[in-house]
Chains A and B, each alone.
Chain A
Amino acid sequence: MSLQAAGAVSPAAPVPADSLAQTPLHALHLRLGARMVPFAGYAMPLQYTAGLLKEHGHTRAAAGFFDVSHMGQIAVTPRSGDAAEAAGALEALIPIDIRGLGVGRQRYGFLTDEAGGILDDLMVARLPDRFHVVVNAANKAADLARIRAHCPESIDVALVPDALIALQGPKAAEVLARLAPETAAMRFMDVRRVAILGTACLVSRSGYTGEDGFEIAVPAEAAEAVAEALLASPEVLPIGLGARDSLRLEAGLPLHGADIDPGTSPVEASLAWAISPARRSGGARPGGFPGAERILAEMQAGPARRRVGLRPEGRAPVRAEAPLFAAEAGGEPVGRVTSGGFGPSLGAPVAMGLLPTGLAAPGTRVFADVRGQRLPLLVSPLPFVPAGFKRG
């Protein structure tokens, strides 16, 4: 067998370790026994000593610690000191209500291109003096350039060099409250400046696992101390990228570069819910973002294809890029799997894919080609596991 193709890291991995960027928590990962892999130009932990299945289950049952410092954090700061001045520039790139975003609140959105495709998906948080935008690692240079190019001279656009730590799971709030009691009162998508171990951090109540939890931007020099304090809690285990992927897949959350990309519109991606009412046809500020013509037309008429959840009926996982067919034999592919694997919490394989709207209703049976065999899958509602967000 090829261990390379298995996603396992062979000693002869072609990427020399010294060409990879390291997060501020690199030494900690090594001390924790992580298996490091190249990811988006960074050396990142794939898994720790517990292994992917235990890490996944622990995050759903207690709390998981994730280093996501590879992600891009972009500060959009008007020199006037008033964040509101940048809202218009961001709304010209992102089809969500940013003018109406309250101070201390965060919203999910995406950068669209002129053809209505998704350049990246992101979180935008409003602080009193700036917007804080969190983007995918692989796209951060392009996103930074795009936002900078659209902002006038009077608005500074810069990468924030802070570490980013995610603490996720039903015990996350209890753990973080011991270090920062004021986080207990935060609701889903709240953002606060909070002192942790005497260091000013930016905390949001959000994540990428489907669980309650937080994402914590920590100045790089304090990152290891904050990480160690979180990991000292008996409820917390370190979690690698492997479980991060299986957790987000079960939660039905799309991965840019797999489930969504510039070839997919937000409506096709089943993300039209994120386009704020104010930016839709008939809203207060309809359109005015790249690709608006196509995206708003698709919202009216419905897209030709949609991102859906898929549950293989058998036990074999169905992986990304498997072609999807309407019938058990014959015919041309009608769609493809965009993410797929095993859902540890479900004890069964799960996948997401793109299918023609006529085949996208839950309960529809489609077939994936896996090693020359057509395996049946049922279109299923997303998420596969119920979300544990603290909305109240």
Chain B
Amino acid sequence: MLRFTDEHEWLRLDGDVATVGITAHAAEQLGDLVFVELPKVGVKLTKGEAAAVVESVKAASDVYAPLSGEVTEVNEAALSDPASVGADPQGAGWLYRLKLDDVSAMDALMDEAAYADFAK
């Protein structure tokens, strides 16, 4: 299941673990990325809190936790090569994985068509 937030994040659910990243639309708006900061594995995140940071040459942007849960894995390749997040934001440029407190919360988020409409 692939879902999107109005804060321009995507989540792909596998069991009760969601892979989280920024949307292609967000990456395009931000421009070339030069720095990525990710949460620590094991950290518990509450929906809406700042979980990661992506920085372009010009500005830093917080990436908020789209749902509540515990961080199980982070994308080390994104840390060492921030440009990879901009190059493939919805694939190899994923940011972290989150074991969701409540999988059903995914249902309240936008599907791909709804997000495409939102981001217009």
**Contact among A7, A11, A316 for B58, CB-based, below 8 A:** A7
**Contact among A3, A10, A11, A316 for B61, CB-based, below 8 A:** A3
With a CB–CB cut-off of 8 A, which chain A residues contact B70? none
Quick one: given A8-B30, A316-B55, are A2 and B60 in contact (CB under 8 Å)? no
With a CB–CB cut-off of 8 A, which chain B residues contact A9? 29
For the A-B complex, the count of residue pairs with Cβ-Cβ distances under 8 Å equals 78
- B29/A10 in contact, CB under 8 A: yes
- B8/A1 in contact, CB under 8 A: yes
With a CB–CB cut-off of 8 A, which chain A residues contact B24? none
With a CB–CB cut-off of 8 A, which chain B residues contact A341? 57-58
Question: A225–B60 Cα gap in the complex (Å)?
Answer: 38
Query: Whose C-beta in chain B lies nearest to the C-beta of A3?
Result: B29
Nearest CB of chain B from residue A56's CB, rounded to whole Å: 8
Query: Whose C-beta in chain B lies nearest to the C-beta of A316?
Result: B35
Number of interface residues of B (CB under 8 A): 26
- Identify the interface centre among B32, B50, B63, B64: most chain A CB within 10 Å of its CB: B32
Nearest CB of chain A from residue B50's CB, rounded to whole Å: 8
- A342/B57 in contact, CB under 8 A: yes
With a CB–CB cut-off of 8 A, which chain A residues contact B50? 371
Contact with B along A52-88 (1 / 0, CB 8 A): 1100100000000000000000000000000000000
Nearest CB of chain A from residue B88's CB, rounded to whole Å: 16
Contact with A along B40-71 (1 / 0, CB 8 A): 00000000001001111111111110000000
- B58/A245 in contact, CB under 8 A: yes
With a CB–CB cut-off of 8 A, which chain A residues contact B56? 6-7, 52, 342
Which residues of B (58-117) have their CB < 8 Å from a CB of A? 58-64
- B34/A317 in contact, CB under 8 A: yes
Quick one: given A52-B31, A315-B35, are A7 and B59 in contact (CB under 8 Å)? yes
Question: A9–B31 Cα gap in the complex (Å)?
Answer: 11
- A2/B61 in contact, CB under 8 A: yes
Number of interface residues of A (CB under 8 A): 27
Contact with B along A315-335 (1 / 0, CB 8 A): 111010000000000000000
A257 within 8 A of B: no
With a CB–CB cut-off of 8 A, which chain B residues contact A242? 31, 57-58
A51 within 8 A of B: yes
With a CB–CB cut-off of 8 A, which chain B residues contact A52? 31-32, 56-58
Quick one: given A2-B7, A52-B31, A53-B32, are A316 and B37 in contact (CB under 8 Å)? yes
A47 within 8 A of B: yes
With a CB–CB cut-off of 8 A, which chain A residues contact B60? 6, 317, 319
Nearest CB of chain B from residue A342's CB, rounded to whole Å: 4
Question: A246–B59 Cα gap in the complex (Å)?
Answer: 12
Besides A3-B30, A317-B60, 14 more A-B contacts (Cβ < 8 Å) are A1-B22, A1-B61, A2-B61, A6-B60, A7-B58, A11-B120, A51-B32, A52-B57, A56-B57, A246-B58, A316-B55, A319-B59, A342-B56, A371-B37
A-B contact pairs, 23 of them (CB 8 A): A1-B8, A1-B22, A1-B63, A2-B62, A3-B26, A3-B30, A6-B29, A7-B56, A7-B59, A9-B29, A11-B120, A52-B32, A52-B57, A53-B32, A242-B58, A245-B58, A317-B35, A317-B55, A341-B58, A342-B35, A344-B57, A371-B37, A371-B50
Contact surface of B with A, Cβ cutoff 8 Å: 7-9, 22, 26, 29-32, 34-35, 37, 50, 53-64, 120
